[in-house]
Chains A and B, each alone.
Chain A
Amino acid sequence: MKNKGLGEFEELVLLAVCILEDSAYGISVKKEVEKHSGRSILLGAVHITLYRLQDKGFLKSELGGNTEKRGDRRKRLFQITQAGMKQLKASQEVRQKMWQFIPQLKPST
């Protein structure tokens, strides 16, 4: 369990948190990921991932912002940490590098 890499779904969630900036919480993240990936996701899966990312130190969170719709309950707002940002960038770079080695996509010489 102590691997520091990012799973595919974890990456999506992290990206969604980045996009949402200050308003990332369970449901908004769920909607964001659904919007971009086009699949439907269970709320529980999002929450579990968010907490796992927090345990790994990629996210930090605080409680705040209650609305009528939530029966006046506060939500937990997540934000990306330095480490999280680094991890995202790193995995992005790895991908980019590998793309360049795909034969069909090389500029023909």
Chain B
Amino acid sequence: MKQRENKSLRFANWVFSKFIGQSYLEEFLGDLQEIHEDRLEYKSRFYSSFMYWIDAFHLMFGFSSIRFFKTQNNTTMLKSYFKIAYRNMLKYKFYSAINVIGLSIGISMSLLIAVHVFNELGYETSYPKHKLIYRLASTNWAKKPPVMGTEFKEQMPEVKEVARLFSFGPSVLSHEKKEQLIERPFLGDPSMIEMFDLEFIEGTKDALDEPSTILLTESVANRLFKPGEKRLGEVVVFDDGWRQTVTGIIKDFPKNTHLKIDCISSSTGSFIAKNTDLSWAGVSVFALFESQVDVKKVEERLMDFHVQFYEGLAPEEQIRQEITESGEFLELHPIADIHLHSHREKEIEANSNVIFIYVFSALAVFILLVVIINFINLYVAQTLNRIKEIGLRKVMGAYRGQLIFQFLAEAFFLVLVSSFFAVGLAILSLPFYNELASIPITINELLSTRLLLMLGILILIVGSMAGGYPAFYLSRFGISEGLSSRGLKINSKLPLRTAMVAFQFLISICLLSATLIVSEQMNFIEAKDMGFAKKEIIAIKLHRKLREEAILSREKIRAELTKHANVEQVSFSSHLIGSRFSVEPSYLKSRPEDQLSSRVLVADPMFLETMGIEVVKGGLQTKEFVGRKFFLNETAVSLLQRENILGETVYNTWQEKEGEAVGIVKDFHFASLHNQVDPLIIQLSIDDTNALEYMLIRVKSKDLASTISTIEKTLLQIAPETLIVPQLVNEHMDLSYRAENSMFSIFKMFSSIIIGLACIGLFALFAFVVQARTKEMGIRKTLGATMTQLLLIMSKSYLGILVTIAIIAAPVVRYFSNDWLDSFAFRTTVNWWYYVLPGILVLTLAALAIVVQSWKVAKANPIESLKSE
């Protein structure tokens, strides 16, 4: 940091010394440094450096040795500059407009992306102690047993506090008559108030010390209570009848945290405090370390801690071996890394991915590069037509410095105008962007100091690059070149410019390919046979009265619902397809030594029929269903390595329930396609209340909306005053691709913008290049060149480059796309033409631009272009 600062100051000094006369230099630099040191004592390093620059500039203007600032009577000159700049803008309306519009779009898009990226990178940073908070988890599993948390705090002196969090899924919370569905209720230790520095609007910091107390966030409190109503001390009831006293109202959690908590019930005296099960990994464990602790040293002791934790269950060596074999090692994750880098089972929410950050940053850079290249190309091309003006100005006695200033000022003027538009455009497009993105962006974030500073730097760079070339290159020309009728011979094969165009072209091709491939994979997911009827199953969470009714008589509910013509079948299950089921150990009674750890779903006999899951072997033979029957999926069967599984008795050690394996179901995708299908046991019975978490209703696909409302009405008759939230199973499945989907829509939007901008830029540039060769074409034509020959001559150099680029692009895209596709367990195959087609497409567009422009020139009568000689 210090190094970089000093560099910036050294650079400021260098610039300073160029502008300021020797006689002043020593004292001023001394003063600047002294004041900088002073500022450092009570202001940030950044502010001091910033002010250093400001002061330096101020002094430069005051004491500049450059004649331009000294001359007192250059007002006429300035007026003429403005006049000329304005006239130029009007004269080249089309190009100026393209320039300003293109740059505005580019800058505004990259501003949006920058905000998005800052949001993502800023996850958890709003907690003041976030640098000291770590999550205790293991290689593939984000949650740990509650006892591990308390144990960890006891064993590790470096740990100041441990807070355990448990999310018990969407529930209905009610206060008197008012009911609200709470998406993310949590159970948490009192220590989290201190750890996350929760801000209280009402209540005190010991709010969670008593059992059955609850903290509500402001927004939830506003939904449950009328404004002005007394809130502290009121009793709220969860749908399972759990009554709690409100002891605090806290500010809402920040929007960029993975702990999107609606309310926190106290863990004091709850099952978390009582649970001593060493194998139930069900809570998130956060540890707050003392400051100045070397966490690396703690990590070294994690293995010993882990072994000690299971002490007494087996000899130490055996535990050590089992941990090593399972590959589940304890790890500490800095809380700020979780959102982008953690993709374990049982994460609190589906996390984002650092790849998205890379992709977005790359997009922003690409957009900027494309528009900057356009801007520079066009501006330079435009100024080449102004050689005459330069010559004339010199005749009138203009200094070179003045000319340099003029071109720079004009470029900066254009860039400034564009930036101004860009900020406006970004603000206007916020609503559309927020539709697509997962975290909404506010105007304040868009206008943060950090961003405006970046914008300022950008303006400086683009302005000086675009204005610099004509300013320093063209102002060299003498009067003779400027005023001779030949004008300047413009070399249309400028290597730098060609390279820039080639680069734009490469970006366009890559983006187009990427878009095609991503959409192919997305469609593949949409269309993939999941192994169950995806479209027409409605799931309803059972709670409160509805659950009570179901416990009393699920058959009654089934009968009521199946009366409707559109309802085909009703079933009950412990989990919703698309969420991850719990993992439980089971074994075959005939071979107890073979443990099988598999996912378990508890359901009723109608489940397979309702979900439309294919049975490969066996099945329910009789109409009469007694006891418990187990179905295994193909993966589970192959893991058990048994010839014939049917008729065996399977014992679930956790639930302590057994059942006969009566059938094998085809592997269906009960989790997202990112994962392979895990082994699964479906436990069917008619009276297991574990199955009463969700009701699954299979309906005919026509009149879906009306069917849903009739179902709601029927259920309300059975269980009045319950909140019923029907969801379609396939929509729930889509949640697991939400990150990809939202990213893809943003990606698509940006790629099309980039490609569009690149094309416009090319088109405008060719217009200039071709114009510059008008005379040449005229002469060639008089000497008998044909139309085709003319077109070829003009487009040859560019087309050659473009074709080369198109060929280079294909393998590049192939490499990266394979990487991404491999993150899916089930990926589409990509045809070779996906890599070739975009190249051809973009090539055609570019060729069209060249030919159209050349055509105009080639068609013109040579008399027109040659008569002025």
Residues of A within 8 A of B (CB): 25-27, 30, 42-45, 47-48, 51, 63, 66-67, 69-71, 73-76
Contacts and interface: CB of A to CB of B under 8 A. Distances in A.
B715 interface: no
Contacts of B63: 47-48, 51
A66 B61 CA distance: 25
A51 B63 CA distance: 10
A96 to B, nearest CB: 33
Nearest to B32: A43
B31 A25 contact: yes
A69 B34 contact: yes
A44 B55 CA distance: 6
A27 B62 contact: no
B31 A27 contact: yes
Nearest to A48: B62
A26 B58 contact: no
A67 B38 CA distance: 13
A73 B27 contact: yes
A63 B27 CA distance: 8
Contacts of A70: 30-31, 33-34
8 contacts: A43-B58, A44-B58, A44-B62, A47-B63, A48-B63, A70-B33, A73-B30, A74-B26
Given A71-B29, A71-B30, A42 B54 contact: yes
A76 B23 CA distance: 11
B458 interface: no
Contacts of A27: 31, 34-35, 38
A51 B62 CA distance: 10
A95 to B, nearest CB: 29
B59 interface: yes
Contact of B30 (A30, A45, A74): A74
B31 A75 contact: yes
Contact of B37 (A44, A48, A69, A73): A69
Most buried by B among A43, A45, A63: A43
A26 B398 CA distance: 36
Most buried by B among A42, A51, A63, A71: A71
Contact of A76 (B27, B32, B37, B61): B27
A13 B574 CA distance: 82
Interface in B31-53: 31-35, 37-38
Given A25-B27, A74-B27, A43 B59 contact: yes
Interface of B: 26-35, 37-38, 54-55, 58-59, 61-63
Nearest to A44: B58
Contacts of B62: 44, 47-48
B54 to A, nearest CB: 7
B103 to A, nearest CB: 32
Nearest first, the 10 closest Cβ-Cβ pairs linking A and B are A44-B58, A73-B30, A70-B30, A26-B31, A48-B62, A76-B27, A44-B59, A43-B55, A70-B34, A71-B33
Given A48-B62, A69-B37, A43 B31 contact: yes
Nearest to A70: B30
A51 B26 CA distance: 15
A45 B58 contact: yes
Contact of A47 (B26, B28, B33, B38): B28
A73 B32 CA distance: 11
Contacts of B37: 69
A40 to B, nearest CB: 11
A52 to B, nearest CB: 10
Contacts of B35: 27, 30, 43
A21 to B, nearest CB: 19
A17 B249 CA distance: 59
A49 B818 CA distance: 67
Given A26-B31, A75-B27, A76-B27, 4 more contacts: A48-B62, A67-B34, A71-B33, A73-B30
B108 to A, nearest CB: 33
Contacts of B33: 69-71, 73
A27 B62 CA distance: 16
Nearest to A61: B27
A11 B59 CA distance: 21
Contacts of A42: 54-55, 58
A74 B35 CA distance: 14
A47 B59 contact: yes
A1 to B, nearest CB: 9
Contacts of B31: 25-27, 43, 47, 70, 75
B59 A63 contact: no
A45 B34 CA distance: 16
B800 to A, nearest CB: 55
A60 B405 CA distance: 36
A73 B55 contact: no
A73 B30 CA distance: 5
Contacts of A30: 35
B505 to A, nearest CB: 47
A75 to B, nearest CB: 6
Contacts of A63: 26-27
A43 B34 CA distance: 11
A26 B59 CA distance: 12
A71 B55 CA distance: 17
Contacts of A26: 27-28, 31
Contacts of B30: 66, 70-71, 73-75
Contacts of B32: 43
A74 B30 CA distance: 7
A6 B34 CA distance: 29
Contacts of B59: 43-44, 47
B805 to A, nearest CB: 50
Contacts of B28: 26, 47
A81 to B, nearest CB: 19
A67 to B, nearest CB: 8
A27 B55 CA distance: 12
A66 B30 CA distance: 9
A11 to B, nearest CB: 19
Contacts of A47: 28, 31, 59, 62-63
A43 B60 CA distance: 12
A34 to B, nearest CB: 12
B524 to A, nearest CB: 63
A85 B128 CA distance: 57
A51 B27 CA distance: 13
A55 to B, nearest CB: 12
Contacts of B38: 27
Most buried by A among B33, B55, B62, B63: B62
A5 B62 CA distance: 21
A5 B328 CA distance: 85
A51 to B, nearest CB: 8
A17 to B, nearest CB: 15
B9 to A, nearest CB: 10
B819 to A, nearest CB: 51
B8 to A, nearest CB: 16
Contacts of B34: 27, 67, 69-70
A47 B33 CA distance: 15
B602 to A, nearest CB: 72
B12 to A, nearest CB: 13
A47 B28 CA distance: 9
B231 to A, nearest CB: 46
A30 to B, nearest CB: 8
Contacts of A66: 30
Nearest to B56: A44
B185 to A, nearest CB: 52
A63 B63 CA distance: 18
Contact of B26 (A43, A69, A73): A73
Given A27-B34, A44-B59, A47-B63, A73 B29 contact: yes
A58 B54 CA distance: 28
